[in-house]
Chains A and B, each alone.
Chain A
Amino acid sequence: DTAVSQTPKYLVTQMGNDKSIKCEQNLGHDTMYWYKQDSKKFLKIMFSYNNKELIINETVPNRFSPKSPDKAHLNLHINSLELGDSAVYFCASSQMGGRHNEQFFGPGTRLTVL
């Protein structure tokens, strides 16, 4: 049973295109996150939703728009893709205030922009 799943696992696209990455968790958590890992392996948070409300919005270009239709899903839509958007994007989930805020990560989506 996959706890946090992401689709697709790999995404190759051209500059200027619009693409979406989907994330689902079956852990019953109320908080979900998007992280970006760049080519140097550096991990940085992008967004976080708690009970479908945006609670963390780091300095991210507004071409990136997260959407949380319900507590179990957090999608990431990216408009007008640029070369610098190439990275691995990780989704994570946690229960706010529970188990010392331990976050569970998905397998990642490797985005390559050509």
Chain B
Amino acid sequence: AQSVTQLGSHVSVSEGALVLLRCNYSSSVPPYLFWYVQYPNQGLQLLLKYTSAATLVKGINGFEAEFKKSETSFHLTKPSAHMSDAAEYFCAVIYTGTASKLTFGTGTRLQVTL
């Protein structure tokens, strides 16, 4: 079955440290790839998306993600974490032929400490 795997349900980093959130998809055909962020008691906000125009995608709030076909990965990074980055992050994919159905990973809660 087509799925999305996010390694690490909880990641804790110090303020100013590198943020790395992992996402792997399960398809030989690259799907559409997205990262969404959810702040407490709020909806989902799109951080960035892979459009096949470039393997390194820049998003909002200083986040970026790199698409690696050989590793079927789309990991999210930010060079320097800020307290305001604390939230739940979801990787999501739309696989070919699924009528735009978003399949979400299980989410990674990012905690940022002083």
Binding site for B on A (CB under 8 A): 31, 33, 35, 40-45, 48, 50, 55-56, 90, 92, 94, 96, 100-108
Question: Could you give, for residues 86-107 of chain B, a 1 whenever the CB lies within 8 Å of some chain A CB and a 0 otherwise?
Answer: 0010101010000111111011
Q: Is the CB of B44 within 8 A of A90?
A: yes
* Docked CA distance A63–B102 (Å): 23
Q: Is the CB of A106 within 8 A of B43?
A: yes
Q: Is the CB of B102 within 8 A of A45?
A: yes
Size band of the B side of the interface? 20 to 34
* Docked CA distance A107–B38 (Å): 10
Q: Is the CB of B42 within 8 A of A48?
A: no
Cβ–Cβ < 8 Å partners of A100 in chain B: 32, 49, 51
Q: Is the CB of A102 within 8 A of B34?
A: yes
Cβ–Cβ < 8 Å partners of B7 in chain A: none
Nearest residue, chain A, Cβ from B38: A41
Further 17 A-B residue pairs, CB within 8 A, beyond A41-B88, A44-B104, A100-B49: A40-B106, A41-B106, A42-B107, A43-B90, A45-B102, A48-B99, A55-B99, A92-B102, A94-B100, A100-B32, A101-B32, A102-B49, A103-B100, A105-B36, A105-B45, A107-B43, A108-B43
